[in-house]
Amino acid sequence: MSRASMICAGIDAGSRAIKVVLWDPARMLVLAAGAVDQGVAQESLALELLDRLLARGGIRRNDIGAVVATGYGRKLIQLADRAVTEITCQAWGVRQRSPGVRTIIDIGGQDSKVLRLAADGSIDDFVMNDRCAAGSGRFLEVLADRLAVALPALGQLAQASRKPALISSMCVVFAETEIVGLLASGIAPADIVAGVQTSVARRIAAMVGQHPPAPIMLTGGVAMIPGMNSALAAALGAEVAVAPDPQFTGALGAAVLASHRLDGRNTPAL
């Protein structure tokens, strides 16, 4: 396979899941994407997933020209030619699929980030939550566990809410206590879920600050929960679109950066 026709891989070793994207830079096309739950043996999990995707597409490992790893466990992916932070990769992933976006809200399993992009898609600035899970997917996981509901079903449940519960705590641990109390008081689970979504959204809105440049796009696993973007839009007073395949934006960005590496492009993060 010639260098020009080689494919590139992006591996996002996130805190809750590992995501892999195979990218054909010549055709600007995602060939395959997949995710597995995160575990202790991060690299072998990533490699198994990569091999599965390759097999599904009839692609050989040798056809991969470059690999970039990102996410929490990026340094553990020995196969990768380069490790780049998830902030930079999110920006490149969104830039690839949705050029023109000026604010990215990425809500992952363990942390949340807000990226402000310049008109050309480069990052102007970013903020991340700090040593607290209150504005992250972990909050919703705790809720799903407590309500014995599958995580993806939370959004549907919230849509049945008539009066979202008021969650006063900004801490997951204390909020869980509040949730127990609300359940004991007979508050409907739907109202509790809607209340928690609002709480997460308000937390994120505080990170975003006032007057975020539009368009605003939501990425990360939490974006797949229906209603999260609406909760954010209400908290921000601005429209928030969900990214296409929001869970894979970071891995896509990593794959795009891998293609830059293959081309020898002088991209700063590489």
The residue ranges that bind another protein (CB under 8 A) are 72, 84-88, 111, 122-128, 130-131, 268-269
Of the pair 85, 156, the CB lying nearest another protein is at 85
Of the pair 84, 172, the CB lying nearest another protein is at 84
Task: Check whether the bond before 246 is cis (ω within 30° of 0).
Answer: no
Comparing C-alpha atoms, which of 38, 37, 31, 43 is closest to residue 5?
31
Question: Minimal distance in Å, beta carbon 142 to another protein?
Answer: 19
Question: Minimal distance in Å, beta carbon 253 to another protein?
Answer: 12
- State the burial class of residue 62 (Cβ atoms within 10 Å of its Cβ: 0-12, 13-18, 19+): exposed
Of the pair 10, 155, the CB lying nearest another protein is at 10
Question: Minimal distance in Å, beta carbon 255 to another protein?
Answer: 17
Comparing C-alpha atoms, which of 156, 157, 176, 159 is closest to residue 167?
176
Residue 1 gets which letter from DSSP? -
Of the pair 124, 145, the CB lying nearest another protein is at 124
Of the pair 131, 162, the CB lying nearest another protein is at 131
- The torsion angles phi and psi of 16, rounded to 5 degrees, stand at -110, -25
> In whole angstroms, what is the distance from residue 128 CA to residue 147 CA?
28
Question: Minimal distance in Å, beta carbon 87 to another protein?
Answer: 4
Question: Minimal distance in Å, beta carbon 130 to another protein?
Answer: 6
Exposed e or buried b for every residue in 220-249, given b needs 16+ CB within 10 A? bbbbbbbbbbbbbbebbebebbbbebbbbb
Beta bridge partners of 28: none
Of the pair 209, 237, the CB lying nearest another protein is at 209
Question: Minimal distance in Å, beta carbon 126 to another protein?
Answer: 6
Structure tokens at 264: 């020898």
